[in-house]
């Protein structure tokens, strides 16, 4: 496959439009026309991972974390990030990032984390609505209805999941009186007309409203077409940050913390928890990466504990005291690493469905930045 085709498959799973406005996702470097046979997956685009991708003979490195999240004005090989760019390009390896768009995807980073911890019956912790939609309705002479629906579909209307050109057609009678200076397609100026018409109804992404309306007006046979545009209410999409579910068997905070440590890849940081070690745990919320802001939401949804990373002293103390929820703090890298195997398997499957083969590999390198840990107190 070409790099452009692989990027298309990745974007189908992790739509760049789902990424946060501050994020930096998508293709970082690489020739879209280049051939890709091997793809390497990792969390961080750092030097040893780049070398690993090159050694694996990959033509594409896919990482979860962006290379230049804060932007840059230079990719000179005078910095660690610049050296990564030069090393990848000189070795014919492209770089692609799926970050917050992979966090909210289903399946995505948080589904992999929830599965690793044994959660079942999961829902998004902070769900995203479907993209904003319009309902478009117009009234067309019966013989022209299919052509108008075709034009709307070409403009981007009528897509529902894997289905396209979706619409509703209902016949009825339209009536109008052409003005004295009009040039009606049907009827005569000043005379009341009754016409057999078809109601054509479909949906379209709100961001495409202008082009859909232009297509409607261009395809409609009437001089002054009647049409309605209704903004539809948002509905859950299955996408969203975090997941919340339940364990098959209740446990305690202390025991569950040990289970989290056993389930996630080992790091020097390890896993720590805040709250009563003996508190019962059945309902669990998770958020891969930095999810402290979701503690309120997790508590409101009845979670006994939130598993995430990068927790801070004061916020943690206050959440435990005020929200009555336990908090488990694992290494940032470890909460996201389970996604790599899932993402690699999905790309392999999607390539096969497209009639081709791609070889995927997953980095075993621990890129958590904390490299030394020493206990200052023994566990009770």
Residue 233 has pLDDT above 90, yes or no: no
For residue 198, the Cα-to-chain-centroid distance in whole angstroms is 38
Q: Quickly list DSSP for 182-205.
A: ---SSS-TTS-EEEEEEEEEEEEE
Which residues, in sequence order, are bridge partners of residue 15?
Answer: none
Q: What pLDDT, on a 0 to 100 scale, did the predictor assign at position 246?
A: 97
| CA gap 111, 98 in Å, rounded | 15
Mean pLDDT across the stretch 20-43?
Answer: 96
Q: What is the pTM of this model?
A: 0.80
Pairing mode, strands 280-290 and 236-252:
antiparallel
- Where in the sequence of the chain do the CATH 3.30.70.120 domains occur? 133-231
Residue 281: in which H helix or E strand, if any? strand 280-290
Mean pLDDT across the stretch 28-45?
Answer: 97
Residue 237 has pLDDT above 80, yes or no: no
Mean pLDDT rounded to a whole number for the chain: 95
| CA gap 166, 157 in Å, rounded | 8
Provide CATH code, domain 109-128+238-330: 3.40.1390.30
Per-residue pLDDT band at 132 (split at 50, 70, 90): confident
* Alpha-helix runs per DSSP H in the chain: 3-13, 47-55, 80-90, 100-104, 109-116, 145-154, 209-219, 253-263, 295-300, 313-323, 332-336, 338-353
Lowest-confidence range among 48-57, 124-133, 204-213, 348-357? 124-133
| CA gap 232, 20 in Å, rounded | 23
Mean pLDDT across the stretch 112-124?
Answer: 96
Within 8 A by CB and 6+ apart from 222, the residues are 140, 184, 185, 186
- Where in the sequence of the chain do the CATH 3.40.1390.30 domains occur? 3-98+338-362, 109-128+238-330
Q: What pLDDT, on a 0 to 100 scale, did the predictor assign at position 380?
A: 62
| CA gap 202, 155 in Å, rounded | 12
What is the tens place of the pLDDT at every residue in 63-111?
999 999 988 899 999 999 999 999 999 999 999 999 999 999 999 999 9
- The alpha carbon torsion through 178, 184, 188, 191 (nearest 10 deg) reads -20
Q: Quickly list DSSP for 312-348.
A: -HHHHHHHHHHH--EEEEE-HHHHHTHHHHHHHHHHH
DSSP 144: G
Q: Are 252 and 143 in contact (CB under 8 A)?
A: no
What is the tens place of the pLDDT at every residue in 174-219?
999 999 999 999 999 999 999 999 999 999 999 899 999 999 999 9
Which residues, in sequence order, are bridge partners of residue 326?
Answer: 305
Burial of residue 25 (CB within 10 Å: 0-12, 13-18, 19+) is buried
Per-residue pLDDT band at 375 (split at 50, 70, 90): confident
Q: What pLDDT, on a 0 to 100 scale, did the predictor assign at position 287?
A: 98
| CA gap 340, 346 in Å, rounded | 10
Q: What pLDDT, on a 0 to 100 scale, did the predictor assign at position 331?
A: 97
What is the tens place of the pLDDT at every residue in 278-316?
999 999 999 999 999 999 999 999 999 999 999 999 999
DSSP 96: E
Provide CATH code, domain 133-231: 3.30.70.120
Pairing mode, strands 133-141 and 193-205:
antiparallel
Ramachandran quadrant class, 93 (left: phi over 0; alpha: psi -120 to 50; beta: rest)? beta
Number of H helices, E strands in the chain: 12, 15
Q: Domain 3-98+338-362 is in which class?
A: alpha beta
């Amino acid at each position: 496959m070409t790099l452009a085709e692989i990027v298309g498959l990745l974007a189908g799973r992790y739509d760049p439009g789902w990424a946060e406005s501050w994020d930096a996702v998508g293709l970082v470097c690489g020739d879209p026309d280049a051939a890709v046979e091997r793809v390497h997956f990792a969390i961080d685009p750092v030097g040893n991972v780049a070398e690993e991708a090159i050694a694996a003979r990959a033509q594409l490195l896919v990482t979860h974390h962006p290379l230049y999240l804060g932007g840059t004005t230079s990719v000179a090989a005078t910095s660690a990030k610049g050296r990564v760019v030069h090393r990848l390009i000189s070795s014919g390896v492209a770089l692609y990032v799926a970050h917050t768009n992979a966090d909210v995807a289903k399946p995505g980073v948080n589904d992999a984390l929830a599965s690793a911890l044994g959660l079942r019956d999961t829902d998004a912790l902070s769900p995203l609505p479907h993209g904003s939609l319009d309902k478009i309705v117009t009234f067309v002479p019966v013989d022209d209805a299919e052509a108008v629906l075709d034009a709307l579909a070409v403009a981007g209307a009528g897509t529902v999941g894997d289905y396209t050109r979706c619409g509703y057609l209902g016949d009825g009678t339209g009536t109008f009186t052409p003005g004295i200076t009009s040039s009606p397609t049907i009827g005569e100026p000043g005379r009341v007309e009754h016409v057999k018409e078809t109601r054509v109804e479909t949906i379209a992404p709100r961001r495409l409203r202008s082009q859909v309306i232009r297509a409607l007006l261009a395809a409609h046979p009437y001089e002054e077409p009647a049409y309605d545009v209704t903004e539809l209410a948002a509905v859950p999409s299955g996408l969203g940050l975090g997941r919340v579910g339940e364990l098959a068997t209740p446990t305690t905070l202390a025991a569950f913390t040990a289970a989290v440590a056993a389930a996630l890849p080992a790091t020097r940081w390890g896993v720590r928890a805040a709250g009563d070690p003996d508190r019962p745990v059945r309902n669990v919320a998770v958020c891969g990466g930095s999810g402290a802001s979701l503690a309120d939401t997790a508590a409101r949804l009845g979670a006994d504990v939130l598993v995430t990373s990068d927790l801070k002293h004061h916020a943690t103390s206050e959440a435990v005291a005020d929200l009555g929820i336990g908090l488990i703090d694992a290494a940032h890298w470890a909460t996201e690493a389970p996604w790599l195997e899932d993402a690699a398997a999905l790309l392999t499957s999607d390539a096969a469905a497209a009639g081709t083969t791609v070889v995927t590999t997953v980095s075993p390198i621990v890129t958590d930045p904390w490299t030394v840990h020493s206990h200052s107190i023994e566990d009770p």
